[in-house]
Structure 1
Amino acid sequence: MRISSNMIYQKGVGSMQQQWSSLLHTQQQLSTGRRVLTPADDPIAASRALELGQSKGVNSQFMVNTGYAEDRLGLLEGKLTGIGDILQYMRTKTVEAGNGSYDDKDLAYVATDLRAQFDAMLALANSQDGMGDYLFSGYMANQQPFSGDLAGVTYHGDHGTQTIQVSASRYMPVSLPGSDIFTNTRAYSNDLIAMPAGTNNVGNGALSAALPDPADPSLLGRRYEVTYHDDGVNPPTWDIYEYRPGVADKIPVAVGATALNDPAITAALGFELDLASGTPEDGDQFEVFASSPNIFDNLGMLIDAMERPGPAGMAAGAVAVGLENIDGALENVLKTRARIGSQLVETEALQSLGSDLNLQYEESISDLMDVDYVEALSRFAQQQTYLQAAQQSFMQVSRLSLFDYL
């Protein structure tokens, strides 16, 4: 093999460049703290680190989602606490209204107070979050869920529940449909109908009622006055009038009816009403409370009964029915708060688990990618020696010439 001076120079320069490249690579490792600077340095470690980094990113996003869920659930919990406080206050005032010493003026004062509480609860039912989304409208976050007043409140949302993904397999509910909180406070059953006899009745008649299946909720949440007439000559008759909030005069439902269970009356009331037992006397009256699963309808009925008491009086009529309806709403709110409390505990556990996972991901990535400073510094010193040796040997070889021997 023929060795030329040009080859000697090329080999020498190439060797020094290789040593420079190795030294520079080690210096970059030391300055960045990373062992794997490019995938070519360790393809397997780089691939694994990329996979772990993606998993860490997904986990971090789940933690962000969990934080949002926790904030949203905390807001729901606060609103439900306010609703429960209002209901508890209204219950206390309703008990006071059953005090036999209260006259019509005192009851009117209580009714005025309860009207303000009614408006406050309706405002809470229309609560929004910081983004302007309604909390109790289901999927329809941009739609105000409730509208109306004491005469009737309508729900405009749907029955959906918004969720957010907080783990690979967990979608956490972060909203509540208003129908679950406010319009589903009591189960449909005959217990919704109360029929207390008038305080001035002479006879011992008692009424009964039966709800159809399914019942029409739009016909519930109403109060009626039923009067029996018997002049001893003509067949006995019944008069039925409705008390409706916001309407000053009683609304006739049936006048001069010969049977309470007449199909036309049943259709108008939304339930079947009949004389269950006993014999009423002429002029005997009954008050019929057709409670609704909708707490707003029930509260409207209660407040109206305080403003214009019916024949059964407050204690046996409006107060007894009102307390049962408020208790049903309170129980519903407490059950919902318990469920949200359970979810808040879950979010705390998920946040803790997410933090632990992030720490594990970081440690695993560090083990794969970070430089061992002791080994790298030793290698750096070794490469410096190699480079210096290459430089010195190149200087010696580059001085060789045949002319020195001529």
Structure 2
Amino acid sequence: MRISTQSFFERSAAGMGRLQQKLFQVQRQIGAGTKFLTPSGDPVAAARALGVSQSLAETAQYAASRSRAGQSLSMEESALQSATGVLQNVKTLIVQAGNGTLTAADRGTLATALESQFAELLGVANSTDGNGQYLFAGFKGDAPPFVEQGDGTVNYMGNAGQRLVQVDVARQIAATDDGESVFGAVQGSAMRVPAAAAGNGGSGVFSNVSVADGLNYTVTFNSSATYTVSYVAADGTPVAVGPQVFTPGQSIAVAGLTMQIDGAPIAGDVFTVQDATSAGADVFQAVRDLIGALRVPATDAAAMAKVLNALSTADVKINNAHDNVLTVRSAVGSRLAELDSLNASGEWRNIVDQTYLSELQDLDYASALSEFAQRETNLRATQQTFARLQSIALFNYL
């Protein structure tokens, strides 16, 4: 078979071109560090790699969301820790104020100290997350949630919303708590709150209060010697027990109520024992009422009874508020712990996906370099062979 010179050159050039193209492809793979340069190079692996890349992107987004939620919850936990400390200080001041040797000036000094604690607690309740958003404002994070009015009362201007963050495929977590549930609520197990009516004129002082059922009680003195206990039964029926004979210092025990009243109540004096919510769960109002009671000079037994009764009421309310803040703080801690767990599982999932993605598309450099050397040798040998063959002619042997 005779092969023309032109055909020889064309076939040789085409063969060397193919070898050079394959060598260039391996060289590009080495430069890019990937098994395939385009999806057409390995359609199945490319499709799987796309799915794994999307999973990695979602994992990264969830990790970023958990980071933001963790930052917000950490700042809330810090604020709640401060609130816990303030309420503990208030409880200590209440105990000090109950010292019978204190003068009106001493109680005024304690009231001033309570004013400072009140301001600190209000500042904690209006804490921000560092980005201008108020932690305890619900969805109204751009404005202070607690606003003090001219009369000293504090109004909650936020709402009951919780900012939820998607921290995993099927898990949303609350990154904040609304202020009403923190500073204006109590737990279901909160102590019942005894109180003396503001208009009491006698020197009766309550103590040793307990309730064996879930009812609210009212003790009304008909005279300095008799009283009537009224309540609403579980079936909604109003009940009044009395008049009963009053003996100072002797326990009143009617239905589920036990209460001791010392001193000398007068006709019209009223004492109540209510569940914590009915008695008012606003911690700011509890502190403000206590401050007001300590600032009134106790010049006689009736005035001193008002102070002592106010202290007892405030003590129970502050204890309930303190327990509520601790419960919320515990819930925040649980959410932070859950975020840590989700971060750990997210990191593990990320490692697994990265490993699989590497298996799909990362180049085996040892094999690729070996193939490159082999193809380069083949191309060089082909070129040298072509150079020798094209120089062979009959005239060279004449």
TM-score by length of 1: 0.76
Distance 2:318 2:133 in 1: 28
Distance 2:143 2:381 in 1: 80
Distance 2:397 2:125 in 1: 107
1:298 matched to 2:314? The reply is no
Q: 1:190 to 1:368 in 2, by over 3 A?
A: closer
Among all aligned residue pairs of Structure 1 and Structure 2, give the percentage whose two residues are the same amino acid.
30
Q: 1:73 to 1:282 in 2, by over 3 A?
A: closer
Q: Which amino acid aligns with 1:97?
A: A
1:178 aligned residue: 179
1:235 aligned residue: none
Q: Which amino acid aligns with 1:395?
A: A
Distance 1:360 1:393 in 2: 50
* Contact kept in structure 2, 1:186 and 1:325, CA below 8 Å: no
Give the 3-state SS of the residue equivalent to 1:172 in structure 2.
strand
Distance 2:201 2:187 in 1: 26
Number of positions where the alignment pairs a residue of Structure 1 with one of Structure 2: 348
1:351 aligned residue: 343
Q: Which amino acid aligns with 2:85?
A: D
* Contact kept in structure 2, 1:192 and 1:292, CA below 8 Å: no
Shift of 1:38: 2.0
* Contact kept in structure 2, 1:185 and 1:295, CA below 8 Å: no
2:115 aligned residue: 115
Report the more deviating stretch, 89-98 or 7-16.
7-16
Distance 2:292 2:310 in 1: 9
Give the 3-state SS of the residue equivalent to 1:185 in structure 2.
coil
Gaps of 5+ in 1: 202-210, 214-225, 231-260, 262-271
Shift of 1:67: 1.3
1:321 matched to 2:322? The reply is no
1:286 aligned residue: 269
**C-alpha offsets along residues 102-124 of structure 1, whole Å, 9 cap, x if unaligned?**
12111111111001101110111
* Contact kept in structure 2, 1:62 and 1:165, CA below 8 Å: yes
Alpha-carbon RMSD = 3.5
Distance 1:276 1:119 in 2: 45
Shift of 1:190: 11
* Contact kept in structure 2, 1:99 and 1:315, CA below 8 Å: no
Distance 1:50 1:337 in 2: 42
Q: 1:276 to 1:38 in 2, by over 3 A?
A: farther
Report the more deviating stretch, 1-10 or 108-117.
1-10
2:382 aligned residue: 390
Gaps of 5+ in 2: 205-213, 225-229, 231-237, 247-263
* Contact kept in structure 2, 1:19 and 1:386, CA below 8 Å: yes
1:97-176 mapped onto 2 (5 Å cutoff):
97-149=97-149, 151-176=152-177
* Contact kept in structure 1, 2:129 and 2:135, CA below 8 Å: yes
Report the more deviating stretch, 67-76 or 38-47.
38-47
Q: 1:284 to 1:28 in 2, by over 3 A?
A: same
* Contact kept in structure 2, 1:195 and 1:287, CA below 8 Å: yes
Q: Which amino acid aligns with 2:353?
A: Y
Report the more deviating stretch, 299-308 or 311-320.
311-320
1:39-54 mapped onto 2 (5 Å cutoff):
39-54=39-54
1:3-402 mapped onto 2 (5 Å cutoff):
3-149=3-149, 151-185=152-186, 191-192=192-193, 194-195=195-196, 200=203, 277-278=243-244, 286=269, 291-308=279-296, 311=303, 313=305, 316-399=308-391
Distance 1:300 1:55 in 2: 54
**C-alpha offsets along residues 224-270 of structure 1, whole Å, 9 cap, x if unaligned?**
xx99899xxxxxxxxxxxxxxxxxxxxxxxxxxxxxx9xxxxxxxxx
Report the more deviating stretch, 35-44 or 174-183.
35-44
Give the 3-state SS of the residue equivalent to 2:269 in structure 1.
strand
